[in-house]
Structure formats: C-alpha cells, structure tokens
Amino acid sequence: MKADGAFNPGVWAACRASEPLAELPGPFALGVDVQPGWERATICVGGIRTDGRVGVEVFRDIRATPDSPVTAARVAEEIRKFPDPVAVIAYDQVSGAAASFLREANETGAPWDALKPAAIVAACMDVDEMIRAGRIAVDDPLLDAQIPLAARRPVGADGAFRFSRAASLGPIDAVMAMTLAAHAIAYTGPEPKIT
C-alpha cells in the first residue's frame, strides 16, 4: 500500500535557498542514511544560518556499482572526508549499518549518535514542522527528486508519525539523511534566531 506524499510541492518550494550553507563557520551536523538493500546511502550536512533557518545540503550521494558496493566502511570513509568540525553524526539505531557505525564511534571517538525509534519519530516530526514553517533552507536536486516520494506512517497515538520507506513511492535515503542532519543541528548548534 502506498501513501500520499508528505509535502505539497509549494511548501517544499518555499524552502529553496541558493547556497544554504554558504560561509557558515559551523558547528555542523551530519545525517547518514543507508537504504535497507544497501543500493544507496546519503550523507547530509546541516548548519544554523544567520537568518535562523536550518540549512541542509547533500554532502555525499553514494550509489552501489558492480565494482564499489555500498558498505558501512565506505560511508564512514566519506564522513571522515568532511572538512569541518562536526558536532554530531546522526544515524538510525536500527539501520543495517548501525553496528559498524557504533564500532567506528568507539574506535575514532567521533561524535556518532544512534537515534532510537522514538528519536527518529521526533526528528521526522520536527523536520516536518521546519519545512511547513519555511525554517529549513535547501537547494539540492537529489532532495528535490526524493521529497515528492516521501510518505508518512502514523506511529502510536496523538498524531505521531515518521517518514516511511514502505509507503514511499521510491528511495528516501536523502530525505532521511536531511531529516537527521536538520534535527541534530537544531538541538546541538547555536540557538536559532527566528526571523
């Protein structure tokens, strides 16, 4: 069963901003998502802009090829290439890559943060609110391609939801990585100034 898309195209269009992270000194948060079939993974970076919005860009769009499969080690290697200090590297605790990411955190001391299912729900709901309020700034064709595919799945009572791979019309690894990065920086970065 497929669901309607999570966002009206006009709502997403209002979040467009040229160079959403231009000249930001940090801190930055990375969000990492690996598709369950290991065909693809995305790493997004988020930062708090001077206008108070959360800027997010795709840092790496990783695709499997016959010569180069998507592996947790390959994702971690790409994360180590991020040139600026990172406050947090957020990922889903139930991801197939979670055990490898935990080992990476223990071996390197990097600020990896495994989000439990309840935290994933909170991140999805927070980012949904950011998008609807125009408090997120994005400018990336991969996000533009995946956002219409994303669908919500109700979780528990009181209207809680998360973005659902099963209900979505295609891959949403970039949407999930954006969600994790935006949520992480909103809670670890400087206090956003609402303008």
> What pLDDT sits at residue 46?
97
Residue among 153, 179, 154, 175 at smallest CA distance from 166:
153
The confidence score (pLDDT) of residue 5 equals 56
SS3 string, the chain, reads CCCCECCCHHHHHCCECCCCCCCCCCCEEEEEEECCCCCEEEEEEEEECCCCCEEEEEEEEEECCCCCCCCHHHHHHHHHCCCCCEEEEEEECCCCCHHHHHHHHHHHCCCEEEECHHHHHHHHHHHHHHHHCCCEEECCHHHHHHHHHCEEEECCCCCCEEEECCCCCCCCHHHHHHHHHHHHHHHHCCCCCCC
| pLDDT of amino acid 157 | 74
pLDDT (0 to 100) of residue 159: 85
Distance CA 126, CA 31 (A): 14
Phi, psi of 6 (to 5 degrees): -75, -25
Task: Indicate the length of the chain as a whole number.
Answer: 195
Structural domains in the chain plus CATH codes: 9-188 (3.30.420.240)
Q: What angle do CA 24, 28, 34 make, to 5 degrees?
A: 130
CA 26 to mean position of chain CA atoms: 17
Block means of pLDDT (10 residues each) for the chain, length 195 residues?
62 92 91 94 96 95 94 94 92 92 92 95 94 94 93 86 91 96 83 44
